[in-house]
Chains A and B, each alone.
Chain A
Amino acid sequence: MDDQNTDVIQGTLDMLILKTLSLEPMHGFGIARRVEQISRGVFKVNPGSLLTALQRLERAGWLDAEWRQTENSRRAKFYSLTRAGKKQLEVETADWTRRASAIARLLKAEAEG
């Protein structure tokens, strides 16, 4: 179990963040937790990569960021999806589905042949 690869598939981190934030605004740790939970521990998010990605997505105009008080009255940076971010999520989701199904077909063909 320990040896199993839990890295997020390269190039999909942005999509996972956008998808997670499409449900509700969240802070960095929340996003990481949600990704791990929903993937049932298949993906573990590297904190450094996550926070850098958040910076990048914000710069790209896909996320808005806002400092808020959390329920236990701490300062935390909450991210939410912008309109451009929603569009980007659709693009990335479509792209991913197309590629994933192509890979699935290939693997299936391999198994049959």
Chain B
Amino acid sequence: MSVWRQLTRGLRVLANRNQADQDIADEARHYLEQTAEALMKEGLSPEEARRTARLGLGNIQEQVRDYGWENLISTTAADVRYAFRRLRKNPGFTAVCAFTLALGIGASTAIFSVVNPILFESLPYPQAPRIMMIWDISDGSRADVTFHSFRELQARSRSFDALAVMELWTPTIAGGAHPERFEGQSVSAGYFRVLGVQPALGRDFKESEDRFKVPHVVILSDALWKRNFGANGAIIGSQVNLDGNLYTVIGVMPKGFENVLAPSAELWSPLRYDVGNVTDFTSQAWGHHLHMVGRLRSGIGPAQAKRELDTIGLHPLVEFPRPPFASLKSGLIVQPLQGEVTREVKPALLAVLGAVLLVLLIACVNVTNLLLARGLQRRGEFAMRVALGAARSRLLRQLLTESFLLAIVGGALGMVVAGVGVRALVALSPSGLPRVDAISMDGPVFAFAFGSSALIGLLVGLVPALRAFRSDLAAGIQESSRRTAGGHNFTRGALVVSEVALALVLLVGAGLLIRSLQHLFAIPPGFDSSRVISMWVQESGHRFDDDKSSRRFFAQALEAVRRVPGVRSAAFTSLLPLSREQLTTYGASLENGGAFHNVFRYVVTPGYFETMSIPLLRGRLLDQRDVAGAQPAALISESLAKAGFPGQDPIGKRLHVGPSDRPWFVVAGVVGDVKQTSLADVEPHAVYLTPEQSWFADQEMSLVVRTRDEGTGLASASKNAVWSIDKDQPIVRIATMDSLLAASESQRRFALIVFQAFALVALVLAATGIFGVLSGNVNERAREIGVRSALGASRGDIVRLVVRQAVTLGGLGVVIGLAGAAFATKALTTLLFGVSLLDPVTYCGVIALMLAVSALAAWLPAWRAARVDPSITLRAE
């Protein structure tokens, strides 16, 4: 009732302001007349009575008018109008402030829109926090799960509503001009139940479809369904030919279904493992190559689930036999899916987020400084308005309205900056950035931009506004000359010092990252990447079911590629260094009893070492002798030679790789170590075999081609050479080894580029800050400088005076910034490589740069100061 009355009365006043004002005026006049009349009855003369009444009443009209929410609106509107006029009158000032804020807000908004969906928003699934990722533990570190371990846990665990395992699946549709290869996932039947998303069309997998040798079924993504099948609803129940097998389509996932575990997967099919012989520990179902996810039962936490799985691990049952390499004795790792998919990129994203906040802070400090400087020029105006009866709170509100408006204009411009920034960030983003498709300028991003603009508007306005009132306003009126400016210079100086300090933190961060990348790329990868192109060749179809024809295809394809003019040498390898492909490791046991759990198995055709320029350190390379019937031969990496045969000659020694029930491999030679996953990592040991002597034939191999000349023109020629043997085999991921090498450090490179850009912005802002304070200072001290030069100070003395001030401000900022950097760069630890957090080279370089820039920023004000003509400044007083 009362709120309603408030609202209607307020609106009535707003609608008819004049009538309302008239009413108040009438009421006040009536009061005045009555008072005067009463005084006259007490014996005062009419004039005297009216005068006394008026004095007693004061300005009641203004007081009464202020009552009511509607007045807040009208005065605010007046403030906004006035603020707009002021900003328009100072276009230069407005432009500089708005642009600075746009830079800060835009950069932060861009970073926020990238970081928000990845780190802060929950994954796009119902009750997403309940989805866990589960890892086996092998040699103390996380490992993929075997299918039999999954079966045991699924049968025994009670903590999960659903559990599932999956692996990548890359089926091919052949028959067209070129084979079309798809990315997909082989999953256990419960996969979509774990995610909590069901097909929009058709149905989910049944447990009975995830059995050995049952007919194939497949679920398609919405995009694939629209692209290849014309969005035809009749697709359900029809069959498609993948890799030479007929698959029945049973479902289509909903539009907008995001598959964070394999973002580019477009079709799904059951794993269909052969689980017949559980005690055959060499079977594929015992391989550590499945990712495992689970949806927690409601009310059960990750820690509780982990305890249950660990207990299961410690208590094997006879009906679930386990080999030693999947004993589950060390327990399992249970982690929220969100943390798992963002684990790799989190350090870089957090570092970048921290960096952008520093930039935003510097931008704010800069604008605060500009507003402060302008506040000084307006002191006379404020003093006058206070003297004429304006309440201080009213003036404060008006100043804040101005800075608020400035920030909103800055924020609006910032959205343009952010739009460009987001696109640049996505283009630059490190490979493996999850949820890239979810990055957009959406509601939360706009809310962030507006919220931060509003907050900034109030913050940057507050210091100058309070500053303007702390000083004696009465003095403001009298003071027309600019002889004293001490107190304000202190505030402005402090702001500049903080700007320099913040910029220094960013510069140190950028410096440390540059040095890290220098160190990283100074590390030899173990091969010569120049003039080597690589591509991934996959065999598809039943004609490769027997290992012989599979090997024959690769051998013939290799011959064809070698005949291409311009090819110096070529080879196939099962593992391509630095290609970020999924890696499987195998156990190796040595004749002398040594054993290693995680060894890379490289199956390479002879010629691989020449093509990649991997040095032979001892013995001989693999060659035409190492064929099916001959004595199995292996090359081992230098690290394995050192670790497995310390102080001995490994040549002629014997070892098992993978299954131990096969003939021994004899070490034929030792080759140099190669970086497989990353330049920064210490790699597992490696064993090299020929395809004919390996215990299984790889159906996917990387072709590496060393060319005689620069340029990648040979890539398509090589591809056509492979297709001349069989045009139905898909070839993907064509890349030079140089680009793979560069991409392997894309996370650090991403952080570095962003830091460099931000550090540059920070440096420029800090420099303009110093410049602004000094030029203001030179103006204010023109008289002093005039007196000094009149008294015989040389131009050099004057320049030194100004530059000394700049270096003092810069130096103070550097000292504070160093302390801040030493603390803040801890956040970069995981991104750094080979440099200490207190790397002296970085710190010295950054300090020198900062001081040089400070001096540079002082140059123009100093030059102007030196040209001060004493006769003019002194006469001006």
- Interface residue? A98 (CB, 8 A): no
Complex interface: chain A residues within 8 A of B33 (CB): 74
Interface bits A3-33 vs B (CB < 8 Å: 1, else 0): 0000000000000000000000001111011
Q: Is the CB of A60 within 8 A of B27?
A: no
Partner of A59, one of B28, B30, B64, B68: B68
Partner of A29, one of B26, B34, B67: B34
Known: A59-B5, A61-B1, A77-B26. A52 touches B63 (CB 8 A): yes
Q: Is the CB of A28 within 8 A of B6?
A: no
Q: Is the CB of B2 within 8 A of A28?
A: no
Complex interface: chain A residues within 8 A of B38 (CB): 33
Complex interface: chain A residues within 8 A of B96 (CB): none
- Interface residue? B23 (CB, 8 A): yes
- Interface residue? B60 (CB, 8 A): yes
- Interface residue? B56 (CB, 8 A): yes
Q: Is the CB of A77 within 8 A of B60?
A: no
Complex interface: chain A residues within 8 A of B28 (CB): 51
- Interface residue? A47 (CB, 8 A): yes
- Interface residue? B31 (CB, 8 A): yes
Min Cβ gap A58→B in Å is 8
Interface bits A65-96 vs B (CB < 8 Å: 1, else 0): 00100000011110000001000000000000
Q: Is the CB of B64 within 8 A of A48?
A: yes
Complex Cα gap A75–B60 (Å): 19
Known: A51-B64, A52-B64, A52-B67. A59 touches B31 (CB 8 A): no
Kindly report which residue of chain B lies nearest to residue A55, judged by CB atoms: B67
Min Cβ gap A95→B in Å is 19
Partner of B27, one of A30, A51, A59: A51
| Residue among B56, B57, B64 with most chain A CB within 10 A | B64
Kindly report which residue of chain A lies nearest to residue B64, judged by CB atoms: A51
Q: Is the CB of B27 within 8 A of A77?
A: yes
Q: Is the CB of A47 within 8 A of B30?
A: no
Q: Is the CB of B30 within 8 A of A48?
A: no
Kindly report which residue of chain B lies nearest to residue A56, judged by CB atoms: B67
Q: Is the CB of B1 within 8 A of A29?
A: no
Q: Is the CB of B26 within 8 A of A75?
A: yes
Known: A33-B38, A77-B27. A61 touches B5 (CB 8 A): yes
Min Cβ gap B73→A in Å is 15
Q: Is the CB of A28 within 8 A of B27?
A: yes
Known: A28-B27, A56-B67, A77-B30. A61 touches B2 (CB 8 A): yes
Complex Cα gap A76–B28 (Å): 10
Kindly report which residue of chain B lies nearest to residue A32, judged by CB atoms: B31
Q: Is the CB of A28 within 8 A of B1?
A: no
Kindly report which residue of chain A lies nearest to residue B24, judged by CB atoms: A51
Complex Cα gap A30–B35 (Å): 10
Complex interface: chain A residues within 8 A of B867 (CB): none
Q: Say what secondary structure dominates the interface of chain B.
A: helix
- Interface residue? B92 (CB, 8 A): no
Complex Cα gap A48–B57 (Å): 7
Complex interface: chain B residues within 8 A of A48 (CB): 57-60, 63-64
Complex interface: chain A residues within 8 A of B5 (CB): 59-61
Partner of B31, one of A29, A55, A58, A84: A29
Kindly report which residue of chain A lies nearest to residue B33, judged by CB atoms: A74
Kindly report which residue of chain B lies nearest to residue A70, judged by CB atoms: B30
Complex Cα gap A102–B423 (Å): 71
Kindly report which residue of chain A lies nearest to residue B63, judged by CB atoms: A48
Min Cβ gap A51→B in Å is 5
- Interface residue? B563 (CB, 8 A): no
- Total interface residues on A, CB under 8 Å, equals 22
Complex interface: chain A residues within 8 A of B35 (CB): 29, 47
Complex Cα gap A47–B54 (Å): 11
Beta-carbon contacts under 8 Å, B43-79 to A: 56-60, 63-64, 66-68
Q: Is the CB of B6 within 8 A of A47?
A: no
Kindly report which residue of chain B lies nearest to residue A60, judged by CB atoms: B2
Complex interface: chain A residues within 8 A of B56 (CB): 47
Complex Cα gap A47–B24 (Å): 13
- Interface residue? B625 (CB, 8 A): no
Q: Is the CB of B57 within 8 A of A75?
A: no
Complex Cα gap A67–B24 (Å): 12
- Interface residue? B81 (CB, 8 A): no
Interface bits B1-14 vs A (CB < 8 Å: 1, else 0): 11001100100000
| Residue among B5, B27, B57, B68 with most chain A CB within 10 A | B27
Min Cβ gap B703→A in Å is 84
Min Cβ gap B13→A in Å is 10
Complex interface: chain A residues within 8 A of B57 (CB): 47-48
Complex Cα gap A47–B64 (Å): 10
Min Cβ gap A80→B in Å is 15
Kindly report which residue of chain A lies nearest to residue B30, judged by CB atoms: A76
Kindly report which residue of chain A lies nearest to residue B4, judged by CB atoms: A61
Partner of B30, one of A58, A61, A74: A74
Complex Cα gap A28–B29 (Å): 11
Interface bits A30-69 vs B (CB < 8 Å: 1, else 0): 1011000000000000011001100110111100000100
Kindly report which residue of chain A lies nearest to residue B28, judged by CB atoms: A51
Complex Cα gap A29–B2 (Å): 26
Q: Is the CB of A51 within 8 A of B60?
A: yes
Complex Cα gap A29–B28 (Å): 9
Complex Cα gap A75–B1 (Å): 29
Min Cβ gap B811→A in Å is 55
Min Cβ gap A5→B in Å is 17
Min Cβ gap B855→A in Å is 60
Partner of A75, one of B30, B58, B64: B30
Partner of B60, one of A47, A61, A67, A84: A47
Complex Cα gap A35–B59 (Å): 22
Q: Is the CB of A29 within 8 A of B30?
A: yes
Min Cβ gap B110→A in Å is 47
Complex interface: chain B residues within 8 A of A47 (CB): 31, 35, 56-58, 60
Kindly report which residue of chain A lies nearest to residue B66, judged by CB atoms: A52
Complex Cα gap A47–B31 (Å): 8
Complex interface: chain B residues within 8 A of A76 (CB): 27, 30
Complex interface: chain A residues within 8 A of B6 (CB): 59
Complex interface: chain B residues within 8 A of A55 (CB): 64, 67-68
Q: Is the CB of B23 within 8 A of A59?
A: no
Q: Is the CB of B63 within 8 A of A27?
A: no
Kindly report which residue of chain B lies nearest to residue A49, judged by CB atoms: B63
| Residue among A27, A52, A60 with most chain B CB within 10 A | A52
Complex Cα gap A55–B63 (Å): 11
Complex interface: chain B residues within 8 A of A60 (CB): 2, 5
Which A residues form the contact surface with B (CB < 8 A)? 27-30, 32-33, 47-48, 51-52, 55-56, 58-61, 67, 74-77, 84
Which B residues form the contact surface with A (CB < 8 A)? 1-2, 5-6, 9, 23-24, 26-28, 30-31, 33-35, 38, 56-60, 63-64, 66-68
9 tightest CB-CB pairs across the interface, nearest first?
A29-B34, A48-B63, A48-B60, A51-B64, A55-B67, A29-B31, A76-B30, A77-B27, A61-B2
30 A-B contacts, Cβ less than 8 Å apart?
A27-B30, A28-B27, A29-B30, A32-B31, A33-B38, A47-B31, A47-B60, A48-B58, A48-B60, A51-B28, A51-B31, A51-B60, A51-B63, A52-B67, A55-B67, A55-B68, A58-B9, A59-B9, A60-B2, A60-B5, A61-B2, A67-B23, A74-B30, A75-B26, A75-B30, A76-B27, A76-B30, A77-B26, A77-B27, A84-B1
For the A-B complex with A48-B58, A59-B5, A60-B2 known, give 10 more contacts whose Cβ atoms are closer than 8 Å. A28-B27, A47-B31, A47-B58, A48-B59, A51-B24, A51-B31, A52-B66, A55-B67, A59-B6, A76-B30
